[in-house]
Amino acid sequence: MDLALSPEQEEYRNQVREVLSAAPPPEPGQGADREPGLLEVYRTLGARGLLAPDWPKEYGGLGLSPVEKNLLTEELARHGVPVSTHTLAIDIVGLGVLLFGRDDQRQRYLPPLARGEATAAVLFSEPDAGSDLGALQTRAEPDGDGWRLHGRKIYNLKAHLASVGLCAARTTSAGIGVHGITLFLVPLPTPGVLVSPLWSISDERFNQVTLSGVRVTRDDMLGELDDGFYVLSRILGLERTGIEFEGRAHYMRDLLMQHAADVGGLGDPGLVELDARVRASRLLSWRCVENLVRDSPDDVACAVAKWYAGEAARDVALHALDVFGLAGVLAGQPSESAYRDAPGQTLASGSAEMMLGIIASTGLGLPS
């Protein structure tokens, strides 16, 4: 695998680094006045056309390749910038609209997302279903030429800031759980949608979204009726490369390496092992990107990369707190924030158990 960048790709990365290097560090904490998403940074990237580089120019992108898109994700994480806003708005909802949306939906949603003027959320997980879409309970009840959505979604990151949510709802009862699901683009906020906080130890705010009869029509439907599981599987399969997790691991590894250099601890066996794992995570993740460039995505390779990089990001964060000691637990320290986020590294973008299940069933042919 060749990790060398073209001169044009190097120039793109340098432009991104210029913006990120000038950004203030994220503030810890939650609340409307302490949102650590650095949304101004996204708007700056968007204003320069850097936020969705692989989208067509007519929708606010640069018409570039998956390489540039993943360079952006990697640089965001390496600079300590929370990547969730970008992942949700560009890599999941925006990608879904780009691939499966109608022309009017692309014109409506994509340019504001690419400019960083709007954000998006995903409304998938539910109290009794978690991330198992087969157990989905949110229902879309027929109402004239549309539907009324009823249900409750949980752990919806950034929903309080989002202008639109991609919602999975059951439109048809079927014997197989993943059948009969449809995706809708639901405006947020709007009557019939209540967004309330789910406070946690994470810096970034999770929410609960209650749908109480909000009306949607075919104009709001993404993809075909009852085909939501396929659409979602396609989107997440392209989004899941492990890049953001290896980037987070790289960020904390660099802080550890600098500390070790200052105190003469570069020979620490634990740090040496973590350094090797971070480097391996990057190779696994960029192999997935290379597959995307070749238009031959590999779900198993991506599951391996996400699982391995997520485990590495968690373990680097845990090791950092051991190394930095009492000073590392002070509020505002990157190690303190990373420690609180550590459990989420093995859950976000597909839990470790889900990734291992894909590896076992699809990759190794073992019975599910």
In whole angstroms, what is the distance from residue 263 CA to residue 208 CA?
45
Q: What is the pLDDT of residues 165-181, one digit of tens each?
A: 999 999 998 777 789 99
Query: Which range is least confidently modeled, 141-155, 293-307, 320-334, 341-355?
Result: 320-334
Query: What percentage of the chain exceeds 90 in pLDDT?
Result: 70
Alpha helices in 53-156 (DSSP H): 66-78, 84-86, 95-100, 103-114
Amino acid in the structure at residue 186: V
Q: What is the pLDDT of residue 31?
A: 44
Higher pLDDT, 23 or 234: 234
In whole angstroms, what is the distance from residue 207 CA to residue 198 CA?
5
Q: What is the pLDDT of residue 28?
A: 53
In whole angstroms, what is the distance from residue 85 CA to residue 222 CA?
20
- Closest among 60, 30, 56, 25 to 43, alpha carbons compared: 60
In whole angstroms, what is the distance from residue 144 CA to residue 318 CA?
54
- For residues 166 and 121, the answer to whether their CB atoms sit within 8 Å is yes
Query: Which range is least confidently modeled, 161-165, 217-221, 308-312, 324-328?
Result: 324-328
Residue 146 has pLDDT above 70, yes or no: yes
* Reported confidence tier of residue 32, pLDDT bands at 50, 70, 90: very low
Average pLDDT, the chain: 90
The pairing of beta strand 181-187 with beta strand 193-198: unpaired
In whole angstroms, what is the distance from residue 292 CA to residue 269 CA?
35
C-alpha of 95 from chain center: 12
- For residues 336 and 328, the answer to whether their CB atoms sit within 8 Å is yes
* Reported confidence tier of residue 95, pLDDT bands at 50, 70, 90: very high
Q: What is the pLDDT of residue 266?
A: 76
Q: What is the pLDDT of residue 165?
A: 97
Contacts of 19 (CB under 8 A, 6+ apart): 41, 44, 45, 48, 50
Q: What is the pLDDT of residue 26?
A: 59
Q: What is the pLDDT of residue 33?
A: 46
Rounded average pLDDT over 245-257: 95
Q: What is the pLDDT of residue 350?
A: 84
- Sorted by where each starts, the structural domains of the chain and their CATH numbers stand as 7-119 (1.10.540.10), 122-226 (2.40.110.10), 240-363 (1.20.140.10)
Residue 29 has pLDDT above 60, yes or no: no
Q: pTM score, two decimals?
A: 0.91
Local structure of residue 56 (DSSP, 8 states)? -
Local structure of residue 227 (DSSP, 8 states)? B
In whole angstroms, what is the distance from residue 292 CA to residue 241 CA?
9
Q: What is the pLDDT of residues 227-242, one digit of tens each?
A: 999 999 899 888 889 9
- Closest among 131, 187, 137 to 159, alpha carbons compared: 187
Distance in Å from the first CA to the final CA of the chain: 32
Residue 27 has pLDDT above 70, yes or no: no
Dihedral of the alpha carbons of 81, 83, 89, 93, in degrees to the nearest 10 = 180
Within 10 A of 323 (CB to CB), how many other CB atoms are there?
17
- What residues does 185 pair with on adjacent strands? 166
Query: Which range is least confidently modeled, 23-37, 119-133, 230-244, 298-312?
Result: 23-37
List strand residue ranges (DSSP E) for the chain, in order.
120-123, 139-143, 146-153, 164-170, 181-187, 193-198, 206-217, 221-222
Rounded average pLDDT over 334-360: 90
* Reported confidence tier of residue 12, pLDDT bands at 50, 70, 90: very high
Q: What is the pLDDT of residue 48?
A: 93
For residue 87, the SS3 value is: helix
Residue 120 has pLDDT above 90, yes or no: yes
For residue 151, the SS3 value is: strand
Residue 30 has pLDDT above 50, yes or no: no
The pairing of beta strand 164-170 with beta strand 120-123: parallel
* Reported confidence tier of residue 2, pLDDT bands at 50, 70, 90: confident
For residue 29, the SS3 value is: coil
